[in-house]
C-alpha cells in the first residue's frame, strides 16, 4: 500500500476490509533519497560511527548485516545494509539499518520514512526510544487505507444516525 518495507500483518475485523492493491512498490531509494542534505526536517540528525564500527559497516554489501539478534523463536539480522532498489526488510522496534550509499546508520527520519511517517511527525525521547516508536507502529499509509475502508462501510450502513 505504498509502504517501502516488508511486513506481513493480520487485521481481524467484523467489517470486511478489502482495499485495492497498488501496482507500484515504493523502494528504499524513493523513500529516503531526498533526505541526505536536509537539515530542516526533525529527527534527521546523523551520528558518527567509531572507527571500528565504520570499518565493519564499510565492508557491507546490500543485504549484509553486522550482527544477529537471537530471540526466543527466531534470529533477526541487525544493522542490515539496505538495497536502495528494493523494499526494506521488516522494521521492528529493535531494527537498525545501514544507509544504502553511505557508511552510517539511517537517521530516525530515514527509518520513519520506511514506515511512511510524514516529515512533520516529531519523535521524542532518546534515539533508541525514537527508533522503537517507529518499529512498533503500523505504517501510516496502511492504517490510513484501513481507516478509509472502515469509514466507507460505516457510511454505507449508516450505523450512526443523528437524531
Query: Does 117 fall in a domain?
Result: yes
Query: Does 133 fall in a domain?
Result: yes
Confidence of residue 13 (pLDDT cuts 50, 70, 90): confident
The overall pTM is greater than 0.75: yes
Domain span at residue 92?
Answer: 28-157
- Position 24 scores a pLDDT of 78
Best CA proximity match to 96, nearest among 88, 105, 85: 105
The owner of cell 496502511 is 142
Query: Does 74 fall in a domain?
Result: yes
Query: Does 3 fall in a domain?
Result: no
| Distance of alpha carbon 159 from alpha carbon 163, whole angstroms | 12
In the chain, pLDDT over 70 holds for what percent of residues?
94
Query: Does 98 fall in a domain?
Result: yes
Number of neighbours of residue 158 by Cβ within 10 angstroms: 7
Query: Does 13 fall in a domain?
Result: no
- Position 163 scores a pLDDT of 60
| Distance of alpha carbon 156 from alpha carbon 24, whole angstroms | 29
Query: Does 9 fall in a domain?
Result: no
Secondary structure element (H or E) that encloses residue 150, with its range: helix 140-157
pLDDT beyond 60 at 79: yes
In 3-state terms the chain splits into helix, strand, coil percentages (rounded to 5) of 30, 10, 60
- Model confidence over 126-153: pLDDT tens digits? 999 999 999 999 889 888 888 888 888 8
Query: Does 137 fall in a domain?
Result: yes
Q: What is the CATH number of the domain that holds 32?
A: 3.90.120.10
- Position 90 scores a pLDDT of 86
- Position 1 scores a pLDDT of 66
Who wins on pLDDT, 109 or 157? 109
Which residues are CB-contacts of 25 (< 8 A; sequence separation ≥ 6)? 4, 87
Total domain count, the chain? 1
User: CB–CB of 102/81 below 8 Å?
Assistant: no
- Model confidence over 30-50: pLDDT tens digits? 999 999 889 899 999 998 899
- Model confidence over 49-70: pLDDT tens digits? 999 999 999 999 999 999 988 8
Amino acid at each position: 500500500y505504498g509502504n517501502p518495507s516488508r511486513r506481513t500483518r493480520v487485521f481481524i475485523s467484523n467489517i470486511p476490509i478489502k482495499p485495492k492493491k497498488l501496482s507500484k512498490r515504493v523502494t528504499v531509494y524513493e523513500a529516503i533519497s531526498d533526505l541526505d542534505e536536509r537539515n530542516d526536517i526533525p529527527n534527521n540528525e546523523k551520528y558518527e560511527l567509531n572507527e571500528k564500527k565504520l570499518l565493519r559497516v564499510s565492508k557491507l554489501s546490500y543485504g549484509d548485516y553486522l550482527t544477529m539478534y537471537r530471540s526466543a523463536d527466531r534470529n533477526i539480522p541487525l544493522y542490515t545494509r539496505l538495497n536502495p532498489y528494493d523494499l526494506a526488510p521488516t522494521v521492528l522496534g529493535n531494527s537498525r539499518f545501514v544507509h544504502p550509499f553511505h557508511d552510517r546508520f539511517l537517521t530516525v527520519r530515514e527509518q520513519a520514512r520506511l514506515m511512511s511517517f510524514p516529515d512533520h511527525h516529531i519523535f521524542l525521547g532518546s534515539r533508541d526510544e525514537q527508533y522503537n516508536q517507529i518499529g512498533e507502529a503500523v505504517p501510516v499509509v496502511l492504517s490510513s487505507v484501513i481507516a478509509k475502508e472502515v469509514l466507507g462501510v460505516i457510511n454505507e450502513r449508516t450505523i450512526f444516525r443523528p437524531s
